[in-house]
């Protein structure tokens, strides 16, 4: 009996190892299976090879001088994961309306967004991700002929915090930014190094279990990840910085999917300096997710994904309305 019991344990262990190997193999295959129109690329910045996935529309020509969207992944992700999170939505829009999308990779899956967390190499070693994004913009302007007046940044979570930092440090290089799943970090709030107006769109879920709507500690389970101010403080900061004088009333979007447990409303701030409007989409019942995107972890961990809006489409429509002067 004892020998049979040992044999069963060994067989179970082998089965577990096989399942883990299969999972890892499928994950590698998935991460290396590029979307149609994608290519992998890299540039060297500060002695580090920085990688990215590039999506070009069909029959691309640098003579078109197309707009450029740089989409920043969340913490623990990659450029491929950002592409997957949006269900390839930006790619489809790029093919339809002709623009270039780049999905860069943070160092060891994280961006140096200014929270100064020792947990992650990008922040512990103060990796210059601002210099990386600047170099990326210059690379695509010079090598792919993108329109330097139509460069846009979007990001989710850690990528959203990085987008806030870029809006603070290099607004003169950007036409607009869009942020999903996060308000401003305490470190950056009130310490924004530039007052240059910049159009900004923010999307946040009221029931985000990682980023509290009313501000406070960011956390993933028991792991604390710095602090953020409330979404109200974040929006008021950008409205004041952009010189907006008109605040429009809250408008609800149609409840396109009554079964998803969410409702979406929008607030707009207009009559701003240089047309730098501020737009907030609040997702009632929404979690730490990309509306219309992929439910990348169970609802019990990250909350609900709204199906009442397509964040990629909303963001692109916002970007289309703005270009940088000069």
pLDDT of residue 25: 33
- Is the Cβ–Cβ distance between 282 and 214 less than 8 Å? no
**CATH code assigned at 52:** 3.40.50.1820
pLDDT of residue 12: 40
Tell me whether residue 95 is in a domain: yes
- How many structural domains comprise the chain? 2
Separation of alpha carbons 71 and 136, rounded Å: 12
pLDDT of residue 270: 97
For residue 6, pLDDT over 80 is answered with: no
pLDDT of residue 34: 73
Q: Any idea which residue has 């961990």 for tokens?
A: 301
pLDDT tier, 32 (very low <50, low <70, confident <90, very high otherwise): low
Tell me whether residue 238 is in a domain: yes
The verdict on 12 and 149 lying in the same domain is no
Contact partners, residue 17, CB within 8 Å, separation at least 6: none
Tell me whether residue 102 is in a domain: yes
- Which long-range CB contacts under 8 A does 26-35 form with residues at least 24 apart? 31/78, 31/80, 35/83, 35/88, 35/91
For residue 144, pLDDT over 60 is answered with: yes
The verdict on 92 and 184 lying in the same domain is yes
The verdict on 122 and 185 lying in the same domain is yes
What's the pLDDT tens digit per position in 79-127? 999 999 999 999 999 999 999 999 999 999 999 999 989 999 999 999 9
The verdict on 21 and 76 lying in the same domain is no
The verdict on 65 and 8 lying in the same domain is no
The verdict on 76 and 23 lying in the same domain is no
Tell me whether residue 15 is in a domain: yes
Rounded mean pLDDT of the chain? Answer: 90
pTM, 2 dp = 0.89
Higher confidence at residue 180 or residue 5?
180
pLDDT tier, 55 (very low <50, low <70, confident <90, very high otherwise): very high
> Cα–Cα–Cα angle for 317, 323, 326, nearest 5°?
175
- In this prediction, residues 64-79 reach a mean pLDDT of 97
Tell me whether residue 51 is in a domain: yes
Separation of alpha carbons 302 and 181, rounded Å: 11
- In this prediction, residues 198-214 reach a mean pLDDT of 97
The verdict on 18 and 57 lying in the same domain is no
pLDDT of residue 28: 38
Separation of alpha carbons 187 and 180, rounded Å: 18
Q: Any idea which residue has 């199906």 for tokens?
A: 307
pLDDT tier, 10 (very low <50, low <70, confident <90, very high otherwise): very low
- In this prediction, residues 262-269 reach a mean pLDDT of 98
The verdict on 29 and 48 lying in the same domain is no
For residue 272, pLDDT over 90 is answered with: yes
Joined together, the tokens standing for residue 203 give 């999307």
Separation of alpha carbons 120 and 123, rounded Å: 6
- In this prediction, residues 156-169 reach a mean pLDDT of 97
Share of the chain above pLDDT 90, in %: 84
pLDDT of residue 33: 67
Tell me whether residue 38 is in a domain: no
* Three state DSSP letters for 154-185: EEECHHHHHHHHHHHHCHHHCCEEEEECCCCE
| Length of the chain (residues) | 326
Share of the chain above pLDDT 70, in %: 90
pLDDT tier, 18 (very low <50, low <70, confident <90, very high otherwise): very low
10 Å CB burial of residue 30 (0-12, 13-18, 19+) is exposed
pLDDT tier, 193 (very low <50, low <70, confident <90, very high otherwise): confident
Tell me whether residue 66 is in a domain: yes
- β-bridge pairing 200-205 and 176-180: parallel
The verdict on 105 and 27 lying in the same domain is no
pLDDT of residue 26: 37
CA dihedral 12, 301, 159, 196 (to 10 degrees): -170
The verdict on 70 and 98 lying in the same domain is yes
Structural domain harbouring 15: 1-33
pLDDT tier, 16 (very low <50, low <70, confident <90, very high otherwise): very low
Question: In sequence order, what are the beta bridge partners of 78?
Answer: none
The verdict on 235 and 270 lying in the same domain is yes
pLDDT of residue 155: 98
pLDDT of residue 165: 97
- In this prediction, residues 269-293 reach a mean pLDDT of 97
The verdict on 169 and 232 lying in the same domain is yes
Tell me whether residue 325 is in a domain: no
CA dihedral 113, 116, 119, 120 (to 10 degrees): 40
């Amino acid at each position: 009996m004892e020998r049979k019991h040992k044999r069963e344990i060994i067989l179970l262990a082998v089965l577990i190892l096989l399942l883990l190997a299969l999972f890892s193999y499928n994950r590698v295959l998935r991460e290396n299976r590029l979307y149609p129109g994608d290519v992998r690329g890299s540039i060297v910045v500060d002695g580090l090879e920085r990688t990215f996935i590039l999506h070009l529309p069909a029959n691309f020509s640098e003579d078109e001088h197309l707009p450029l969207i740089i989409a920043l992944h969340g913490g623990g992700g990659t450029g491929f994961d950002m592409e997957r999170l949006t269900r390839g939505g930006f790619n489809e829009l790029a093919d339809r309306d002709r623009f270039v999308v780049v999905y860069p990779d943070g160092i060891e899956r994280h961006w140096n967004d200014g929270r100064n967390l020792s947990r992650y190499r990008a922040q512990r070693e103060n990796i210059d991700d601002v210099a990386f994004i600047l170099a990326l913009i210059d690379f695509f302007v010079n090598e792919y002929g993108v329109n330097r007046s139509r460069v846009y940044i979007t990001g989710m979570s850690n990528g959203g915090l990085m987008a806030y930092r870029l809006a603070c440090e290099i607004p003169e290089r950007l036409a607009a930014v869009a942020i999903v799943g996060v308000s401003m970090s305490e470190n950056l709030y009130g310490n924004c190094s530039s007052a240059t107006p910049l159009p900004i769109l923010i999307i946040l879920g009221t029931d985000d279990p990682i980023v509290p709507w009313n501000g406070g500690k960011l956390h993933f389970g028991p792991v604390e990840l710095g602090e953020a101010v409330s979404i109200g403080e974040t929006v008021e900061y950008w409205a004041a910085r952009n010189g907006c004088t008109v605040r429009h009333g809250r408008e609800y979007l149609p409840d396109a999917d009554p079964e998803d447990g969410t409702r979406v409303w929008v607030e707009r701030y207009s009559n701003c300096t240089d047309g730098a409007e501020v737009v907030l989409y609040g997702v009632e019942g929404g979690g730490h997710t990309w509306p219309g995107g992929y439910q990348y972890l169970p609802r019990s961990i990250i909350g609900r994904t709204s199906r009442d809006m397509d964040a990629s489409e909303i963001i692109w429509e916002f970007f289309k309305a703005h270009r940088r002067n000069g």
